[in-house]
Amino acid sequence: MSQLEIKDLHISIGEKSIVKGFNLTIKPGEVHAIMGPNGTGKSTLAKAIAGHPDYTITSGDVLLDGQSVLAMEPDERARTGLFLAFQYPSEIPGVSIANFLRAAVQARMAEGEELDATAYYKRLYTKMDMLKIDRKFTARAVNDGFSGGEKKRCEILQMAMLEPKIALMDETDSGLDIDALRIVAEGVNAIRAGAQPPGILLITHYQRLLDYIVPDFVHVMYAGRIVKSGDKHLALELEAKGYDWVKKEFAAATAS
């Protein structure tokens, strides 16, 4: 079974250091929630692991099943089993969801192997039914003119189709009303209930999401690293007390 190890990771954007010594191991099927105030490096972490060209990993390593992914291009990382659910998914006019997903599925097949279109659509429709997505959706251009909720459901549909080993979910709850949030969470929970559930890194700002997707671990990220870890109760504590006490603890710890 697959696991992700993030070892003493340092990430910069240009000259600016954002993530400073991040450590975490995600075992198969585990859900780790990362919480923390704005600007603390949560999204940077997710995008850099997925290989976004704007981010430079200056030191440390990211291993999937013991193999470093850092020398890989973004598409290779994805085919190896990493998946990033975007906070702001790109709109791609003129490319239908059906064609886009077929290209992604085909990219995972051996050279010269033909995609079985019937089996592909059967699988796609099963996943769409699971996510309560209308079948007409497949003819629409990827994220083009989608509502916030549709975009996020489209992300989860891709995750369900591509069956990653590790999913990095970046603020999947942002921009969602409570009904949309519930549908998205149900989709994620259905994936978790599958035969080979991925390990999930769930980045969120709000405890609210964790009522629906219950994490195995909660970590607080601040100033580019994890400063506190606990179980789901930590999220409730953060919700009640805010982040100030974490910041104070961190200041005291680094001062000493």
Partner 1 sequence: MSVSSPTAAVGSFTQAAFDAHLAKVSHLPAWWLDRKRAAYERFAVAPMPKRTNEGWRFSNLAALTLDGFNPAPAACPFAQMDHHELGVTGAGHLVFANNRLVASQPLAAEAAKQGIIFDTLQNALLKHGDLVRAHLLTQPSKLGSDKFAALHEAFLEDGAFIHVPKGVTAPLPVGVFHYACGDGTAVFPHTLVIAEDNAKITVADFFRTGSGASPAPRAFACGGNDLYAGHGASVTYVAMQDWSRETLSFQFNATLARRDARVLSLNLHAGARQARHESFSQLAAPGAHSEMLALTVAHGTQEFDQRTLQIHQAPNTSSNLLYKNALLDQAKTIFSGLIVVDADAQKTDAYQSNRNLMLSDDAEAHSLPGLEIQANDVRCTHGATSARIDREQEFYLESRGIKPAQAQELLVFGFFEEVLGKIEHQELHDTLTDIIREKFRA
Residues contributing to the site for partner 1 (CB under 8 A) = 50-53, 73-75, 77-79, 83-84, 86, 89-95, 99-100, 103-104, 107-108, 141, 158, 162
**Cβ distance to partner 1 smaller for residue 70 or 214:** 70
Q: How far is the CB of 249 from partner 1 (least distance, A)?
A: 35
Give the contacts of 26 (CB within 8 A, at least 6 positions apart): 3, 4, 5, 32, 166, 199, 200, 201
**Cβ distance to partner 1 smaller for residue 73 or 116:** 73
Structural tokens at position 228: 């506190």
**Cβ distance to partner 1 smaller for residue 6 or 161:** 161
**Cβ distance to partner 1 smaller for residue 9 or 167:** 167
The full DSSP string for 51-90 is T-TT-EEEEEEEEETTEE-TTS-HHHHHHHTEEEE-SSPP
Q: How far is the CB of 246 from partner 1 (least distance, A)?
A: 31
Give the contacts of 140 (CB within 8 A, at least 6 positions apart): 96, 97, 146
Q: How far is the CB of 204 from partner 1 (least distance, A)?
A: 20
Q: How far is the CB of 103 from partner 1 (least distance, A)?
A: 5
**Cβ distance to partner 1 smaller for residue 107 or 251:** 107
**Cβ distance to partner 1 smaller for residue 108 or 132:** 108
**Cβ distance to partner 1 smaller for residue 108 or 135:** 108
Q: How far is the CB of 85 from partner 1 (least distance, A)?
A: 10
d(CA 126, CA 135): 10
Q: How far is the CB of 14 from partner 1 (least distance, A)?
A: 15
